[in-house]
Amino acid sequence: MGAQDPEAVPAPGKAAPAAFHEAYEAGGGVREHWQYLLDSLKELGPDELSLRRHALERILRDDGATYNDYSAGLTARAWGLDPIPFLLPSDEWSVVESGVRERAELMDMLLRDLYGPRNLLKHGIIPPELVLSNDAFLRECQGLALPGEQQLIQYATDIVRTPRGELRVMSDRAQTPSGTGYALENRMAMSRVFPSLFRDSHVHRLSLYFNNLRLKLNELNPNGDVARVAVLTPGAYNETYFEHVFLANYLGYPLVQGRDLTVRDGYVWLKTLDGLSRIDVILRRVDDSYCDPVELYAQSQLGVPGLLETVRSGNVAVVNPLGSGVLENRGLARYLPAAAQYFLGRELRLKSAQTWWCGDDADLDYTLRNLDTLIVKTTSRGPDSQIVDGAALDAAGREALAEKIRRNPLRYIAQERLTPSLSPVWDSGAGPDLPLVLRSFAVAGESSYVVMPGGLTRVGTKPGAFEISNRLGSLSKDTWILASEPEKRTEVQPAEDTVAPGTGWAGMQLPSRVVDNLFWVGRYTERSEASLRLLRTVLSCLKGEHSIDPASRPLLLRAVTHLTGTYPGFLGKNADPSAPMPELHSVVLDAKRVGSITWSLHALLRAVDQVKDFMSADTQRILNDLRDEMALLPDLLRRDYSSAPEEALDRLVSILLALAGLSQESMVRGQGWHFLDMGRRIERSVLTISLLRSLLVPRVQGEAESLLLETVLISAEALMTYRRRYQRNVNIDDALDLLLLEPANPRSLMFQLERLDEHLRSLPDSPDGPRLPREQRLRLEAASQLALADLAELARTGEGEYLRGKLDQLLARIQRLVTEIAGALTDKYFEHTGGHQPLGLSGRREESQ
């Protein structure tokens, strides 16, 4: 096999041809379809455009649109959207559309052949070594078949326009193509910020694609009836997690992780509090080899054990089918022209960038002789994927690369360097025009593929960039396909019945993982808030704004240690109550210290990340505020401490209150809400008790006691209530009554226990029969102990007694009971099995002689 058409590649040393410009003709005139947009933007003027750009940023931020980057240490990067869209007129679009559709059809034939008869290999159309040496070819997936003709359901392809104006494909995505959600988010943001421009431009709508996806997923149901579909995500640390959440919500399907699912009796089930609920179709964002630890990657915790065999039995459909990563082998591009001739009897309308596969002798030779002009890539897109720009290497670097290729030629391809077309970009002003790549999406439809009229456009970070990817921080653009006249609404509307009753979070069938996380959202919110309140009070006492007896100071500091659990803290041997600031700073700021405020807030954010799809849309705004405020905290606290550090804490308290308010006001009163609020009630009970045990159990005399009581009441947000209610100086009996028994005080212990009662009664029926379940018995015991207590008696101390021993005993008992309620809930409702582990022969092997 010889190298293909050598003319298509610029000869070494020749200057790269000037890039095609999307908006301007070679002579400098504006292309017709850009005229209206450019005029309108000019009319808006730079100041207005800047404002709109900020508006876009705000919308994306409020929606939580991020692209997470592993390499940057788990930081979520804000999704960047340029206010200038990429425009394509109808006639040009129809070329793209038919080209993408044809490629999708070809890819589908490839997929069916490679896991079926493998005629392409038998007839020498594709060298077997290219496919068989690639990790993405999964022998376990031989013969898998989805219902219906098409096997490839979702397909995406990255397209650029060359200097000659031709379209070329840079890469194909056929496993779990990402980007549709970002495209949709871009569209929603743009149409809000530029409503009239958008309306007057007659832009094709994207919903066609998603409606078809819904229809197709429903059609793939192997079990009859209305399909129960779930979106399978690897979890919150995936780069495109935002999109998983966004799509699941948009499509109305539950977002699940591998451990939310289980295989029983040959079917796949979602584990919910109400028991198992069958799943018929899985729209996955987990890579092939991670989907089933039984047959594929044994160490994977992201998959579902037994999934592959369930697929084989035809009891669940996985989209795209397992094994479809084989189509992402970068060497296939070299043989697509031949495969198109073989299957379709014609050339592809939308061609790939010219590709050489080093497993072919002639291609290897060409590659090694032209390393300085080529882009070298691994055939595999897996973890060992590499992309090297030959032109960027010096002679030694090229020789090292050549040696690597020679040692393992099957693993490498070379691709011609393409010069993508340019587009205007509004990046805080008129910057240089930047290269652009369009990711186009197709979904299997009735007879062929439906191509999203639009797509995800990304621009390079600098002129001349050869790789354009989110990982490199590319900015995105909305893609406007301009209809010549306003679009008629002819698109397929999903039938009412395509969403199964009881699926989607609306059905309230929550996986226990979600419930578990909501419970902890409640607990961490409360823990953070209570710690912040106490710290705030302590700081203001130390500054003398709130007076306290100097002898009570060590008590107060020790309460900080008790409440946050940051032992030894102020209980340690070396604690110095006269210079408490370093320790207090650490209790606020040290993220590594279990129990510190920052630690609790991080734990809260992590738990929220796990249940993002369940939280109200406004939650994101509050979380953004929380993150911003946390970032400011170290600076504010370290400043001169006369500058009111507690104000920084005030703002955090307000944000947490907003979060709590939102859950009260916006959450449906389903299981999720019950568990969230139970978490909060349990935590508040435990912390209130902790506060009372550290501050009110020790006996303090006279004036000092009423000052300390006031401090406790402030910290428990109850001083105002106290004054209104009792209208006299604070005394221990009234304070205990208010903090422990008063049912109308939302911060009293009794109030928490009563709310807990309501929640516990709402939980799914337990198999305990007529007897009270354990958690209810524990609660009843706690509430009875409290109700029967004679507070005045408990508060009394005899001569020479320095502790209210009986009060302490009661509080300790109730604290233990409440902790046990949490334990009982955990045992009963949450997953507490570790992950799956491989069953192997553990070192055992064939060792006979």
Partner 1 sequence: MKYRIRHRTRYEYQDVVSQCYSMTHLLPRNTFYQRCNRASISINPLPATGNDRTDYFGNHTYHFAVQYPHRMLEVVAESEVEILAQRQSLALDFGATCAEVRTLLYRLEPEENLRAREFLLDSPKISRSDALADYARDSFADDRPFFSCVSELTARIYSEFSFDPRSTEVSTPLEEVLKLRAGVCQDFAHLAIGCLRSLGYPARYVSGYLETVPPPGQKKLEGADASHAWFSAYSPTEGWADFDPTNNLMALEQHITTAWGRDYSDVTPLKGSVLGGGAGHELDVAVDVERIEA
Residue 492 binding partner 1, by CB under 8 A: no
Measured distance CA(8)–CA(23) in Å, rounded: 25
Residue 263 binding partner 1, by CB under 8 A: yes
| C-alpha torsion sign, points 136, 139, 143, 144 | negative
Judged by CB under 8 A, the stretch of 99-107, 169-177, 526-534, 836-844 that binds partner 1 is 836-844
The residue from 71, 701, 727, 849 that contacts partner 1 (CB under 8 A) is: 849
Measured distance CA(674)–CA(670) in Å, rounded: 6
* Positions 142 through 171 that interact with partner 1 (CB under 8 A): 142
DSSP string of 7-55, one letter each residue: GGSPPTTSPPPPPPBSSB-TTSPBPHHHHHHHHHHHHHHHHHHHHHHHH
Integer angstrom CA distances of residue 486 from 38, 96, 455: 20, 21, 19
Given a contact cutoff of 8 angstroms between Cβ atoms, the answer to whether 177 and 327 are in contact is no
Name the token pair of 32: 């017709």
Given a contact cutoff of 8 angstroms between Cβ atoms, the answer to whether 121 and 128 are in contact is yes
Rounded to 5 degrees, φ, ψ at 99 are: -65, -45
Return left, alpha or beta for 287; rule: phi > 0 is left, psi -120 to 50 is alpha, else beta: beta
Judged by CB under 8 A, the stretch of 264-272, 470-478, 589-597, 752-760 that binds partner 1 is 264-272
Residue 841 binding partner 1, by CB under 8 A: yes
Given a contact cutoff of 8 angstroms between Cβ atoms, the answer to whether 335 and 126 are in contact is yes
Judged by CB under 8 A, the stretch of 379-387, 451-459, 747-755, 832-840 that binds partner 1 is 832-840
Residue number with CB closer to partner 1 (654 or 837): 837
Judged by CB under 8 A, the stretch of 73-81, 437-445, 509-517, 831-839 that binds partner 1 is 831-839
- Mapped onto helix, strand or coil, the DSSP state of residue 441 is strand
Q: How many residues does the chain have?
A: 849
The residue from 149, 496, 665, 846 that contacts partner 1 (CB under 8 A) is: 846
Integer angstrom CA distances of residue 755 from 679, 692, 758, 761: 11, 21, 5, 10
- Mapped onto helix, strand or coil, the DSSP state of residue 149 is coil
Query: In this structure, how many other beta carbons lie within 10 angstroms of the beta carbon of residue 434?
Result: 24
Q: Total number of residues binding partner 1 (CB under 8 A)?
A: 42
* Positions 379 through 418 that interact with partner 1 (CB under 8 A): 410
Residue number with CB closer to partner 1 (266 or 486): 266
* Positions 290 through 349 that interact with partner 1 (CB under 8 A): 293-295, 298, 305-306, 309, 312-313
Residue number with CB closer to partner 1 (6 or 266): 266
Task: Map tokens 């391809």 to a residue.
Answer: 413
Query: In this structure, how many other beta carbons lie within 10 angstroms of the beta carbon of residue 711?
Result: 25
DSSP string of 746-759, one letter each residue: TTSHHHHHHHHHHH
Residue number with CB closer to partner 1 (331 or 390): 331
DSSP string of 543-594, one letter each residue: TTSS---GGGHHHHHHHHHHHHT--SGGGSTT--TTS-HHHHHHHHH-TTST
Given a contact cutoff of 8 angstroms between Cβ atoms, the answer to whether 685 and 522 are in contact is no
Beta-sheet pairing, 351-352 with 167-173:
parallel
The residue from 128, 148, 486, 746 that contacts partner 1 (CB under 8 A) is: 128
The residue from 262, 616, 766, 826 that contacts partner 1 (CB under 8 A) is: 262
Residue 845 binding partner 1, by CB under 8 A: yes
The residue from 18, 74, 95, 132 that contacts partner 1 (CB under 8 A) is: 132
Q: How far is the CB of 228 from partner 1 (least distance, A)?
A: 20
Q: How far is the CB of 241 from partner 1 (least distance, A)?
A: 25
Instruction: Put the strands of the sheet holding 275-279 in their side by side order.
Output: 261-264, 267-272, 275-279
Judged by CB under 8 A, the stretch of 132-140, 550-558, 708-716, 743-751 that binds partner 1 is 132-140
The residue from 13, 43, 47, 139 that contacts partner 1 (CB under 8 A) is: 139
Q: Of 783, 775, 723, nearest to 749 (Cα)? A: 783
The residue from 62, 69, 92, 140 that contacts partner 1 (CB under 8 A) is: 140
Q: How far is the CB of 127 from partner 1 (least distance, A)?
A: 9
Measured distance CA(17)–CA(10) in Å, rounded: 9
Residue number with CB closer to partner 1 (125 or 707): 125
- Mapped onto helix, strand or coil, the DSSP state of residue 211 is helix
Residue number with CB closer to partner 1 (165 or 834): 834
Q: How far is the CB of 307 from partner 1 (least distance, A)?
A: 9
Residue number with CB closer to partner 1 (263 or 588): 263
Q: How far is the CB of 830 from partner 1 (least distance, A)?
A: 15
**At residue 188, what is the residue type?**
M
Q: How far is the CB of 132 from partner 1 (least distance, A)?
A: 5
Name the token pair of 704: 């000092």
Residue 848 binding partner 1, by CB under 8 A: yes
**Residues 61-92, buried b or exposed e (16+ Cβ, 10 A)?**
ebbbbbbbbeeeeeebeebbbbbbbbbbbbeb
Cis upstream peptide for 218 (omega within 30°): no
The residue from 122, 543, 669, 761 that contacts partner 1 (CB under 8 A) is: 122
* Positions 622 through 651 that interact with partner 1 (CB under 8 A): none
DSSP string of 313-335, one letter each residue: TTS-EEESPTTGGGGG-TTHHHH
Q: How far is the CB of 265 from partner 1 (least distance, A)?
A: 6
Residue 119 binding partner 1, by CB under 8 A: no
Measured distance CA(26)–CA(21) in Å, rounded: 8
Binding mask 74-113 for partner 1 (x = CB under 8 A): ----------------------------------------
Q: How far is the CB of 338 from partner 1 (least distance, A)?
A: 15
Q: How far is the CB of 839 from partner 1 (least distance, A)?
A: 4
* DSSP one-letter code for 383: T
Measured distance CA(284)–CA(229) in Å, rounded: 10
Residue number with CB closer to partner 1 (46 or 266): 266
Residue 767 binding partner 1, by CB under 8 A: no
Residue number with CB closer to partner 1 (122 or 543): 122
Residue number with CB closer to partner 1 (114 or 353): 114
Binding mask 714-753 for partner 1 (x = CB under 8 A): ----------------------------------------
The residue from 54, 264, 543, 639 that contacts partner 1 (CB under 8 A) is: 264
Residue number with CB closer to partner 1 (254 or 359): 359
> 740: number of CA atoms within 13 Å, CB side?
31
Integer angstrom CA distances of residue 635 from 59, 271, 537, 602, 641: 28, 45, 20, 18, 11
Residue 121 binding partner 1, by CB under 8 A: yes
The residue from 133, 238, 624, 797 that contacts partner 1 (CB under 8 A) is: 133
Q: How far is the CB of 140 from partner 1 (least distance, A)?
A: 7
Query: In this structure, how many other beta carbons lie within 10 angstroms of the beta carbon of residue 702?
Result: 8
Judged by CB under 8 A, the stretch of 14-22, 166-174, 258-266, 392-400 that binds partner 1 is 258-266
The residue from 123, 199, 669, 761 that contacts partner 1 (CB under 8 A) is: 123
Residue 832 binding partner 1, by CB under 8 A: no
Site for partner 1, rule CB under 8 A: 121-124, 128-129, 132-133, 139-140, 142, 262-266, 293-295, 298, 305-306, 309, 312-313, 410, 833-834, 836-849
